[in-house]
Amino acid sequence: MGSWGFVLLAYGIVWLALVLYFLSLKNRMRKAGTKLSQLRSAGSPGKHEK
């Protein structure tokens, strides 16, 4: 492996990991958001009844 190979390997791993982490955060955000809105729509009528 030439020296450019090592450079590309390092940059590849780093940016892949960072992008994956970014996507996983977006995913968690979306999942949490839908769950929250579900809870709110399910929970708010109950609250009004009280």
Partner 1 sequence: MAKAEKKRGSGEILGVLALLFILVGLYVALIQAPPDAYQGEVQRIMYIHIPSIVAAYLCFFIVFLGSCLYLWKRETRDDILAKSAAEVGVLFTALTIIEGSIWGKPTWGVWWTWDARLTLTALLLMIFVGYIMLRSLIEDEERGAVCGAVVGIIGFLDIPLIHMSVYWWRTLHQPPSIFRPDKLPWENIKWPLLWPLIINIVAFVFLSLYLLSLRIRVGETEERIKGEMLGGTA
- Map residues 18-47 to x or -, x wherever contact with partner 1 holds by CB under 8 A: x--xx--xx-xx--xx-xx--xx-xx--xx
Give the whole-angstrom CA distance, residue 49 versus residue 8: 61
SS3 50: coil
> Interaction with partner 1 in 2-21: which residues (CB under 8 A)?
3-4, 6-7, 9-11, 13-14, 17-18, 21
Task: Write down the H helix ranges in 1-50.
Answer: 3-49
Give the whole-angstrom CA distance, residue 31 versus residue 29: 6
Q: Which residues bind partner 1 (CB under 8 A)?
A: 3-4, 6-7, 9-11, 13-14, 17-18, 21-22, 25-26, 28-29, 32-33, 35-36, 39-40, 42-43, 46-47
